[in-house]
Chains A and B, each alone.
Chain A
């Protein structure tokens, strides 16, 4: 009845990111919905890796919060470096100065549920 499996390669990696916009008081031209967020991520990939390179990286926006423009992304593990660097090298969205902030990266979605580095004990 006892079984043990060791999986050494996670199929996906997960990232908790947010889009930091300069002067958030000044509204973006459009309300940043999950569709626009996904578009921003895809545009970042295409800008860095071109049409083919960008198309090869499949990204899922698993969760999106419009309030703080934060999201949980899922990407295949071998594409993590590409996605992460594309987000890092993005400095503009809809002509507004911005930056993608990556808060947490984990090979497990469960890993994003808790962040002991940010927890404040009361």
Chain B
């Protein structure tokens, strides 16, 4: 089938503002949007800039706005997103565009680093691994799935309005450690998230849950962190 890809292009060396360019490509309905973008880049216009790595929904590099919604290009099938043979592709919102579909992810990763995304345990290391019951492991299982693609954070109205907001992805990462029974820095993370640009900027819009390509219950995780802050109990 033939489809038209409408891509928002921006080259900071030439353009004053972004503009749309259309490309017609031959694809299978079961192809992915990433395949169509490759077709454009490899056979029609080599100047198109996009970021991708594993191309199989694991690395989270190719997050972009497809038909106005955040998705991974490698997980979005043509048959699911093509409307009357047209697909629009734009960079994700809220982060500076470097070129075409590539955004500067540094502000996003700075928020990620801010919440201490690593296990903190000051007890003497045991001879073998730090044991944990299956129930304790299940407590934070959902938030271990995050691949840091930024689909959630860049779909969040609070983040669009204020880039200093730590954002859903960083809160999900904090949740993964706050509720880990082996971790000892939960209170420190909660203190970080209780600051003005922390978890209270969430307006429970649910865009993040809708955008997450891994199906993480992002708004629920944020709600649980808020609950821990309200009650002072991590459970």
Whether chain B is bound by chain A comes out as no
